[in-house]
Structure 1
Amino acid sequence: MDNYMIGLIITLFFAIGGFVLIFSTYIFGVRKNKNSNNFIMFNTLLITYDWIFYILFNIWIATHSDTVDDFALFSVYSLLSVAISMILFNLLLAVIILRREFKNNEQFRAWYQKHKVFCMFVVFCSPGGLNVLHVLNCKFNDMDIFDAKLSSTFEKKVIHASVISLLIGDLPRSCFSTFTNVVFQPYGFAYYAIPSISCLLTLSVFASGLFYRIYESTIRDYEKPTVQELIISKNQILEA
């Protein structure tokens, strides 16, 4: 069996296996409690899975940079720097939103004292997509760890911030993953599983985030953001 087939099998194994596991969790949540926001759990697991492979993807690029010419490598690293900037931007937004909620919501502070590790893990995954913050309040399987008693203001801020993240974070990262696959896997070149899986997951997260944003703005009918809600002042950034 040649390297191409091995890479293809690995890609299919992790891609299909991951989606089956994520979808199974979603079905489990629906069967246990149809009233909870089970799609959030699906989306969160997808973002987390994508985030893990995105980290592996960047490690892979660093170890395979000698396989392409200088111009292609420059293009890859240029797009990578943009993607990393957007990831840091997502992390900053997540910290600011959670910090403000922590200051203004006593119930959330009480919940946080019990579930610090889980909350930190969610923050760690937030650079992959701000929608992951919704999992704190999705009430999955009626478990206390998924019921952070977050305010409606928090929910709306995450939704509004996720729009920014979708456009200047997920979209560039999707373009970066796709471009890198084109650069590293031209016709006749070896097939690489890690960039292929990462690209597939990143595009899936982008599509899922776009769908969820439409769902929130139409079906759940959240009010439109005001200018004040969208602006993050310099003082807020410094406080974070």
Structure 2
Amino acid sequence: MGDNIVPEGAEQDFITFAKKNYIILSIVGSLMGFAIFVYLIGRCSNRKGNNFVIFNFLLICYDLAFDIAFLVKNANDVPGLFRPALIILIVSGSINLTFGFAIMIHQRIFNPAFSHWLKENHRFAALITVFSAANIQALKIISSNFGGMEITSAKYSANGQRAIAWIGVANLGIQDIPQLVILVNYWLKTDGYVIFPFISLILNVVILFIDFFGRIYDAVIISGDDDGTTRRLNNRSSDSTYQYSMRVGAP
């Protein structure tokens, strides 16, 4: 331990550390409370919705913010950590965003029910697609039926659901676990408590714990065929198109 690095601003005593950083810790506590509050609102409004998706997404956003803060403020404290931390953020963000756009385009072309929803909610869909750079799981928001709202009632095909699930599993290997390794490495090579690595490590562990089983479950359980709801909506969309054509005298 004597050879470990003591970062600037590090505190050896946790109580002293907590007192010194009580404002940031209070903000983090408030953000966690807000995430729980949003989840409860969605659950009270619609118990059948996948309201936990919003809670998990907010945690992911918080984690990303502190990962960036760690990269900018603390990664250089330990030689050799800055570059891999930067690469993880860039590579994972690029992969998530690329697949996010690909999934949305695929659903737009091959899923009539989704296409119909997209026409009415294209701005919200575009926003969520951009947010998917943080984590592909953001795409689940638009199909979560959070609060029973129409903007969260999109219906992915089973292929779309499976793509999101498996890319989420891949994220464990290219984003979550490597980031955890970097943070653990930082703590092993430094002495004392430092605010950004401390919070980032806690959030990373919590998200990894939540996501690991959820992503594996999603990837394995989703059936190979379209779910019944999507099929019914697609059939309904086709029927509506046919009926409209008959009314206007189309051949």
* TM-score, length of structure 1 as denominator length: 0.74
CA contact (8 A) 1:83 1:176 kept: no
Structure showing greater radius of gyration is: 2
CA contact (8 A) 1:90 1:126 kept: yes
CA contact (8 A) 1:50 1:198 kept: yes
CA contact (8 A) 2:107 2:114 kept: yes
Give the deviation of 1:175 after TM superposition. 1.8
CA contact (8 A) 2:51 2:144 kept: yes
Letter in 1 for 2:145: K
Q: Could you tell me which residue of structure 1 aligns to residue 197 of structure 2? A: 195
- Aligned length, in residue pairs: 211
Measured in 1, the distance between the counterparts of 2:122 and 2:69 equals 26
CA contact (8 A) 2:96 2:135 kept: yes
Give the deviation of 1:23 after TM superposition. 1.5
Give the deviation of 1:149 after TM superposition. 2.8
Give the deviation of 1:94 after TM superposition. 1.7
Considering fraction of residues, name the structure with more helix. Answer: 1
- What is the DSSP-based 3-state SS (H/G/I as helix, E as strand, rest coil) of the residue aligned with 1:74? coil
Q: Kindly report the root-mean-square deviation, in angstroms, between the aligned alpha carbons of the 2 structures.
A: 2.7
Q: Out of 174, 177, 192, which is 1:171 matched to?
A: 177
Q: How does 1:68-217 map to 2 (within 5 A)?
A: 68=77, 72-183=78-189, 186-188=190-192, 191-216=193-218
CA contact (8 A) 2:88 2:174 kept: no
Q: Could you tell me which residue of structure 2 aligns to residue 235 of structure 1? A: none
Deviations 1:30-70 (Å, cap 9, x if unpaired)?
A: 22211111121221222222223333333334xx74xx3xx
Measured in 2, the distance between the counterparts of 1:54 and 1:79 equals 9
Pair 1:39-2:52 in alignment: yes
Pair 1:222-2:188 in alignment: no
* TM-score, length of structure 2 as denominator length: 0.71
Measured in 2, the distance between the counterparts of 1:14 and 1:120 equals 29
Where in structure 2 are there 5+ consecutive unaligned residues?
A: 1-10, 226-251
Letter in 2 for 1:187: D
21-30 or 130-139, which deviates more: 21-30
Letter in 2 for 1:211: F
Change (3 A) 1:92 1:142: same
Letter in 1 for 2:191: Y
Q: Could you tell me which residue of structure 2 aligns to residue 17 of structure 1? A: 30
Measured in 1, the distance between the counterparts of 2:81 and 2:67 equals 18
Change (3 A) 1:76 1:180: farther
Give the deviation of 1:224 after TM superposition. 7.0
115-124 or 137-146, which deviates more: 115-124
Letter in 1 for 2:48: N
Where in structure 1 are there 5+ consecutive unaligned residues?
A: 226-240
Letter in 1 for 2:34: L
